[in-house]
Amino acid sequence: MCIVNDWCREYASLYPKKTVSIGHPLSAIFLLVGTAFFFTLQVFYVAPDVHDGFMYKFFVVSAIFTTYNIIGNLLACHRTSSAVKSLPKERQVPEPGKEHLWHYCDICQKLMPPRSWHCALCKCCILKRDHHCIFAATCIGHNNHRYFFWFTFYLAFGIFMSMATLLCDVGRSVYLLHRMKAGLSFGNTEINLSYRRYVFLILNIFALGFPALMLRFQVQILKFNSTYYQISSRLHDLGFQKNCKLIMGQRGLWTFLSPSLKSPLLHDGTHWQIKQCF
């Protein structure tokens, strides 16, 4: 425990309050501007060249749904606290006979529930702490893990959908240009192949890397009911269905529909069942 606390103090010294106060809004602005840019690019400039009629309308609805879930889950993540101090006061202390399951935090100077760890940036202990998210400007833990998972999923999905549409647009234009050079007729179809299409495609490919990596970690965390810093641990793995409900709440994976969908968690994050067989 002393090692963990020493690491927290060192982490806090590396990221002073002023740096964090600047980094959080800049990261959020970068994400929102990037989301708005790719949404506008796809819906108004790229998709009309690739889809028409019903398919274009379906694409626009999908883009709106995806963007809503990106921003909605990020906002829900920020507004939902997983701090131990968010619990009712009577739940911030162990029940009689269960003191041995809790651990002492030297920084907060009190007993903390199992799987709760101190965050030097939030300056408090977090229930089932996963990590500190600079985009949400808060820690990801027991109460808001559901929102972070779907934020990551829809961010990766949205960028992938954008990249796929750009690939189709570039491929279509190259194919038509090849037919034109070969002297083949292709009717009145317009060819729109500028260098900007390639630049946007390269940006899309690079933009996909980070959220895809985050999603890969989050899928493993969901599968094993683990956390980012103990990602391979199967100590609390109770099976995929139960793990989903422990993170997503009673509605499980149906929470993909909307961050506003009510899905009460199975418990308050102060006690965790341990897998019996390994």
**pLDDT tens digits, one per residue of 107-138:** 999 999 999 999 988 889 999 999 999 999 89
The reported pLDDT for the residue numbered 71 is 96
3-class DSSP state of 164: helix
> Distance between CA atoms of 172 and 58, rounded to whole angstroms?
20
Q: How many helices (H) and strands (E) does the chain have?
A: 7, 6
| 126, amino acid identity | I
Instruction: Taking residues 85-101, report their average pLDDT.
Output: 92
The reported pLDDT for the residue numbered 184 is 54
Instruction: Decide: 131 and 148 in contact? Cβ < 8 Å.
Output: no
